[in-house]
Amino acid sequence: MDEHPGKIVFFDLWATWCGPCKRGIEAMEPLKEKLKGKDVVFVYITDESSFMNAWTESVLKIPGIHYRISSMKWKEIPIPGGITQYCLYDRQGKKVWEQTGFNDEVLKDIEVQINKALK
């Protein structure tokens, strides 16, 4: 959050081997296009369970900021229900929304929550 002062930050905790994670990333691309130029930063985090070659290849196709962290560091992140895990932080760095899992309703909710945080 410190790296993006005054921005809305959307975190996507995912893995290259996770089908729902990949579907969510793909489904969000039109929304990310719509939000281009607005104060929203998309951050993608995975761990070592995503093999380096697969991760490197994947992130080339996913606009945003990417981190592949150690499995030890990953265990420090409070993930209530596994992945795909989404978190949204407002301009003050406060978590304002969180969701585990992806489906079409979640995609709609993500857009609503981001737009609410932008106001």
The domain locations on the chain are 39-93
pLDDT of residue 42: 97
The reported pLDDT for the residue numbered 90 is 96
Output phi, psi for 50, to 5 deg: -90, 105
Extract the residue ranges of the chain whose pLDDT is less than 70.
none
What pLDDT is attached to residue 78? 82
DSSP result, 16-36:
TT-HHHHHHHHHHHHHHHHTT
State residue 112's pLDDT score: 96
**pLDDT at residue number 28:** 95
pLDDT for the residue numbered 104: 85
**Residue 49 pLDDT:** 94
Q: What dihedral angle (degrees, nearest 10) is formed by the CA atoms of 68, 64, 11, 47?
A: -10
